[in-house]
Amino acid sequence: MIPFSFEYHRADSLEEAALVYQQIQASGQKPIYYGGGTEILTMARLAQIHFDAVIDIKQIPQCQRLERADDAIVFGAGVSLDRIGQANLWPLLSQAGARVADHSVRCKITLGGNLAGTLPYREVALPFMLFSSDAHGLVFGPGGSRDVPFKELFNGQLNLRPGEFLVELRVAQFAAEVPALSVKKTRLDWVDYPLFTVAMVRVNSEIRVAFSGVTGCPFISDAINRTLSAAASWDDRAQSAVAHISDSVVDDLHGSAKYRRFLLTRTLADMLAKIEE
């Protein structure tokens, strides 16, 4: 059980959410924004986080958008990973999201929650990182709304100002039309934390790759992308790419750094073969 009491607020509009947040804070208490709740509830159970109130933002209509608009695709931050997969507006995002946790949990975890959580994996960021010049986020907070290029919004974790929350992410429609792959590797089980997740796209002859689970947080590297786009065999390119990842490869319960490097090299080579077929 969660051993402490807290208030639950359900906001019906962006303005209401930000206002309630400020009011609670002004009274000397600690509010947090609440999406699917999977991480908040499990951490609260173990008293690993503390808060006085949660503000549930996922039902706010702007957080529930899941549609094509003009030349973009819009994903509300409050949409569950399961719904994103069902709608499948961007297959690469569906794929990346489909391997987070298990099905029951994906029916709860939201796009915003996966990005804002404390677990370092944040797999749904990967597709957006691959199109960072063509992806934007809308955030809302005490100062109103801001439209932020994805590159500024996310560098391994969400960059939000105090009191702000993510409303939606947008990506240019063409992102859904290029060859793309997302691969997750685990210690053994289909459902488990990742050894790593890799998302790859090919835009004309250019290969772009974003990684999660390899080092601390998701990352993308121009140097690695250049290496992978160069003219060389799949194996050679994969090896050079992994050689660029210097010393901070994760070594944990799920797998050693050495095995991750080995498996990553092999996975990249396989993905290159597939995407360049």
| Binding residues vs other proteins (CB under 8 A) | 1-5, 46-47, 187-193, 253, 255-256, 259, 262-263, 266
The least CB distance from residue 116 to other proteins, in Å, is 19
223-226: long-range contacts, CB 8 A cutoff, minimum separation 24: none
Residue 123 is classified by DSSP as T
Can you read off the two tokens belonging to residue 243? 């050689």
Q: Are 78 and 168 in contact (CB under 8 A)?
A: no
- Of 10 and 266, nearer to other proteins (C-beta) is 266
Which CB, 174 or 262, lies closer to other proteins?
262
Q: How far is the CB of 35 from other proteins (least distance, A)?
A: 20
CA atoms within 13 A on the CB side of 19: 7
Name the nearest CA neighbour of 128 among 164, 57, 88, 74: 74
Nearer to other proteins, 248 or 256 (CB): 256
- Closest CB to other proteins among residues 127, 255: 255
**Shortest separation between residue 253's beta carbon and other proteins, angstroms:** 6
Distance of closest approach, residue 104 Cβ to other proteins, in angstroms: 12
- Report the nearest approach of other proteins to the CB of residue 235 (Å): 12
Q: Going along 159-266, which residue ranges are E strands?
A: 165-172, 180-186, 194-203, 206-212, 219-220
Instruction: State the Cα–Cα distance between residues 168 and 111, nearest whole angstrom.
Output: 9
| Residue (191 or 223) nearer to other proteins, CB | 191
Nearest to other proteins of 30, 161 (CB atom): 30
- In angstroms, what is the minimal distance from the CB of 193 to other proteins? 7
Which string of DSSP letters, residue by residue, matches 215-244? SSS-EE-HHHHHHHHSSS-HHHHHHHHHHH
